[in-house]
Structure 1
């Protein structure tokens, strides 16, 4: 989670309105007490930087000299931060929607900004110049299987562990070393298409990427743990698909709470390898695992479509029934901003109500993380990702999911899922 820091209390009031309106009040907003000199704000700033949330310092144009003096203090702490001088005289002078847009763009910088240091290092200043957009994501194309799939299916040669910028409409830009080497369209409902490529590749050791980002990712992990500690006293339930995001959410929950229950709703057309991954990792982590098997009667409902995702309803109902066995269930989910605009616009905590559970909370500790941050966090815990990520998958679902792209269908066929329901013989 983020800590928005401004100079004056009136500036903090303007930001708190946005915090309540857009983030449910779950960001932290603080002022430096209105001080106008370094001597007046240094003590309060150092005190605020001792807190675990990731700091964002926002000042107005009239406070330019104060910003120049404050940034070295932020740098001293050696943790991720971002400082921005806004175009208006004071923070509170900026229109609310423009101020919110600035916050969204800065949040995106933390997960998308990259510096090249013989490896990819997360840096919100973004020296590499990766395109920053609130709805974009980045991830690492890890594994020889991923590399082979790109070569055999698309004719694109990549070095080891390239960086992938995932844009809107499943458009992906591949970096090999510090250079863009290909752009690939994986748009739903259309054939996978290589838009351009250049014959250049560079191997980037995964160990190097992990070490470059260890402190950065651990700072975000500590902020997420501090956020989760606000919900002690609940029965902790993690809906777990075996995918990277829900796995990261499970690991964070396990690091905060004494007792954690993971609920694996096993759909009939589950991705290959998921059963083994979930059951093996649950045993390794020592978490309680509830498995609920859900049939998918295609002969009755037909294939799921974007307009009729009856399968999602069955999955959610099964999850809620499992969670209803607990007195005060708190659902810790792996939703992230970079997945879609719809998820980005959710606050990090949702209060829901339904007939099965009544009123309950849904909490998102990795909401502000990138796919790359999630991957590295899991690897830093000595845990391998789901095997399909090493073969070319960005996300996991069912083999009959309407959101499967042509690329994912082709990968499934390479894995031996040769006849997907509804395709014919």
Structure 2
């Protein structure tokens, strides 16, 4: 989570309005007390930097000199941060929607920005020049299986541990070392298309990626754990698919709470190897694992489609029934901004109500993380990713999901895991 810092209390008040309106009040907004000289704000600044949240510092044009004096102290803290000089004289002079747009772009910088130093190192300053967009994501193409799939299916050469920028409409740009090597369209419902390719391959070691990003990701993990502690009086439930995002959320929850219930709703056409992965990791984490098996009566409802996702309703209902014995459940979910605009626009805490559970909370501790951050967090904690991520998958679902792109269907076919019903569909 983030701490948004401004010089004056009136600036902080304008930012707090955005915090309440767009983020449910779950970011932190701080002022430096209104002082105009560095010696007047230094104490408050250092106090904020000792906190667990990631600082975003906003200054107006009239505060340029103060910003220049503040930055060395922030840099000395060793924590990830970003500072911006706005175009208006003071923060509070900017229109609310423009101020919010600045915050959304800055948040995206933290998960997308990269510095190349012989490996990919996360940096909101983004000297590598990755295209920044609030709805983009970055992840790592890890594993020899991923590399072989790209070569055999698309004739695209990747180096070891490529960086992938995932843009809108499932369009992806691949980097091998410091080089852009390909752009691929994986749009739903149309054939996978290589838009361009470049034979300029360079390997990046996984060890270098973990070490270069360890302190950065740990700072975000510390902020997420601090966010989670607000809910220590509740019954903690993690809906767990075995995918990277819900796995990262589960690891964070297990680091904060003594009692965590992980609910694995196993659909009939679950992705292969998920059962084994979930059971093994749950034992390593020492969390309570509840498995709920849900049949998928295709003969009754037909194949799931975008217009009729009856399977999703069954999955959600099974989840709610599995926690209906709890008095104050909190669902710790792995939703992230980079997955879709719809998820980005949700606050980090959502109050929900239904007939099974009554009122309950959904909270999102990895909301501001990238796919790359999630992957490295899991690995740096000594766990493996789901095996299918090493074969070319970006996300996991069911093997008959209507949201499967041709790329994912080809991967399942190559691995001998595509259900016969999908061949007949």
Q: Report TM bin, short chain.
A: over 0.9
Q: State the number of aligned residues.
A: 425
Correspondence list, 1:276-291, <5 A: 276-291=276-291
Could you tell me how far apart the structure 2 residues matched to 1:364 and 1:322 are?
20
| 3-state SS of 2:352 partner | strand
**2:187 matched residue in structure 1:** 187
| 3-state SS of 2:265 partner | strand
- Work out whether residues 105 and 132 of structure 1, in 8 Å CA contact, stay in contact via their aligned partners in 2: yes
**2:62 matched residue in structure 1:** 62
* TM-superposed deviation, 1:423: 3.4
**1:20 matched residue in structure 2:** 20
**1:129 matched residue in structure 2:** 129
* TM-superposed deviation, 1:418: 3.9
* TM-superposed deviation, 1:326: 1.3
Could you tell me how far apart the structure 2 residues matched to 1:59 and 1:100 are?
14
Any idea what the Cα deviations from partners look like across 1:240-263, whole Å, max 9, x if unmatched?
000000000000000000110100
* TM-superposed deviation, 1:299: 0.8
**1:95 matched residue in structure 2:** 95
1:162 paired with 2:167, answer: no
**1:374 matched residue in structure 2:** 374
**1:270 matched residue in structure 2:** 270
Any idea what the Cα deviations from partners look like across 1:154-200, whole Å, max 9, x if unmatched?
00011100000000000000000011110000000010000000111
| 3-state SS of 1:26 partner | coil
- Work out whether residues 409 and 418 of structure 2, in 8 Å CA contact, stay in contact via their aligned partners in 1: no
**2:336 matched residue in structure 1:** 336
Correspondence list, 1:10-409, <5 A: 10-409=10-409
Could you tell me how far apart the structure 2 residues matched to 1:139 and 1:418 are?
25
| 3-state SS of 1:275 partner | helix
| 3-state SS of 1:33 partner | coil
TM-score, normalization by structure 2: 0.99
| 3-state SS of 2:110 partner | helix
- Work out whether residues 237 and 263 of structure 2, in 8 Å CA contact, stay in contact via their aligned partners in 1: yes
Could you tell me how far apart the structure 2 residues matched to 1:301 and 1:17 are?
46
Could you tell me how far apart the structure 1 residues matched to 2:387 and 2:12 are?
46
Residue ranges of structure 2 left out of the alignment (5+ in a row)? none
Residue ranges of structure 1 left out of the alignment (5+ in a row)? none
Any idea what the Cα deviations from partners look like across 1:114-164, whole Å, max 9, x if unmatched?
000100000000000000000000000000000000000000011100000
Q: Which moved more, 1:411-420 or 1:339-348?
A: 411-420
TM-score, normalization by structure 1: 0.99
Could you tell me how far apart the structure 1 residues matched to 2:418 and 2:74 are?
54
Could you tell me how far apart the structure 1 residues matched to 2:299 and 2:166 are?
35
Could you tell me how far apart the structure 2 residues matched to 1:183 and 1:128 are?
17
